[in-house]
Amino acid sequence: MRFEQPSLRSALAERVIGEGVVLLALLAWWALARGLPEFILPGPVAVARRLVELLATPEFLWHVFTSTWRVLVSIAAALLIGGGLAFLAHGVPWLEGVIDERIKPVLNSFPSIGWAILAAIWFEPGDFGVIFVEVAILIPFCLINIAEGLRNIDRELMEMGRSFTRRRARILWRLTLPLLVPYGLTATRIAYGIAWKIALVAELLGAPSGIGYLMLKAQIAADSTTFLATCFAIVLMFVVGERLVIVPLERRFARR
């Protein structure tokens, strides 16, 4: 591809068309919704109004908060377990086959709904079941990324580290972990995206609270307006979390 210096005018045109597409989509939605009953497709205005209403109710915010902390705890736990497995495979050679050939493929192709149903059978509905499912879904993504990072560690650097100290903990803390940070961040980013997209399944089947539970309730009551508003609330949550947490983290560690 040839990169031409983008002139101000073409950049402006790009911007205008970009926002125009959004506007056009909203208009098309509005036009389509006018001819349809509300339980099939409510108009954008109704959904936006409901979204604002929902964001002003403490109960809804509490559900959002519940889902959010479950997602965050799950990501942390999945990073720890996935990272631990990757370290084991890296450090203990005879375990490599066990982890790469057995644990990874099984976790990787385990259907997410399978975890959700098993958790619904095994545990009481509640936080633990949901977090169990989300962690189980997220582990393979963390494992794969951190293993990739460990594989790409510069051998020369490790050798240099060993020539300075023989204490393994020191090498791990000062060398291995900082080198792994970019991969850990990628893992976090992927896990974050997947968690909001797929892990909410757990709340549909086995939770008396959270956004998934709200969505199911709205869907059963054929309350499309609330349902769509909840969907957009998730999009909003996702974008806000990414802008406020993930992007600054990446920027901070990319500079080093």
Partner 1 sequence: MVETAITLAPPSRPGGLVARKLAAHLFTLLFLAAWEAASFVAPSYLLPSPVQVAQRLWIFVTSWRDLGHLGSSLFHVAAAIAISFAIGSLLALIPYYVPVLRLAIERRIGPFLNSFSAIGWTLLSIMWFGVSPLTVVFAISAVLVPFALVNMSAGLANLDPETIEMAESFTRRRARMFLLVIVPSLYPFIFATLRIMFGVAWKVTLTAELFGGNTGLGYMINLARQEFDTATIFAAIVLIIGFVHGMDRYVLAPLQASVSRHYAL
Biggest distance spanned by C-alpha atoms of the chain: 75
Q: Does 106 bind partner 1 (CB under 8 A)?
A: yes
Q: Does 113 bind partner 1 (CB under 8 A)?
A: yes
Residue nearer to partner 1 on the CB measure, 17 or 160: 17
Q: Are 146 and 183 in contact (CB under 8 A)?
A: yes
Sign of CA dihedral 90, 95, 99, 100: positive
Site for partner 1, residues 5 to 64, rule: CB under 8 A: 10, 13-15, 17-22, 39-41
Of 46-54, 128-136, 169-177, 233-241, the segment contacting partner 1 by CB under 8 A is 233-241
Q: Are 138 and 78 in contact (CB under 8 A)?
A: yes
Instruction: Look at the chain and count its residues.
Output: 256
- CA distances 22 to 14, 34, 41, Å, are 13, 18, 18
Q: Does 114 bind partner 1 (CB under 8 A)?
A: yes
Query: Closest separation between CB of residue 16 and partner 1, Å?
Result: 9
Query: Closest separation between CB of residue 126 and partner 1, Å?
Result: 17
Residue nearer to partner 1 on the CB measure, 31 or 121: 121
Residue nearer to partner 1 on the CB measure, 42 or 176: 42
Q: Does 200 bind partner 1 (CB under 8 A)?
A: yes
Which of 7, 34, 94, 159: binder of partner 1 (CB under 8 A)?
94
Q: Does 212 bind partner 1 (CB under 8 A)?
A: yes
Q: Which amino acid is at 181?
A: V
Query: Closest separation between CB of residue 242 and partner 1, Å?
Result: 7
Q: Does 79 bind partner 1 (CB under 8 A)?
A: no
Which residues contact partner 1 (rule: CB under 8 A)? Answer: 1-2, 10, 13-15, 17-22, 39-41, 93-98, 101-102, 105-106, 108-114, 117-118, 120-122, 144, 148, 151, 186, 189-190, 193-194, 196-198, 200-201, 204, 212, 215-216, 219, 222, 224, 227-228, 230-231, 234-235, 238-239, 242
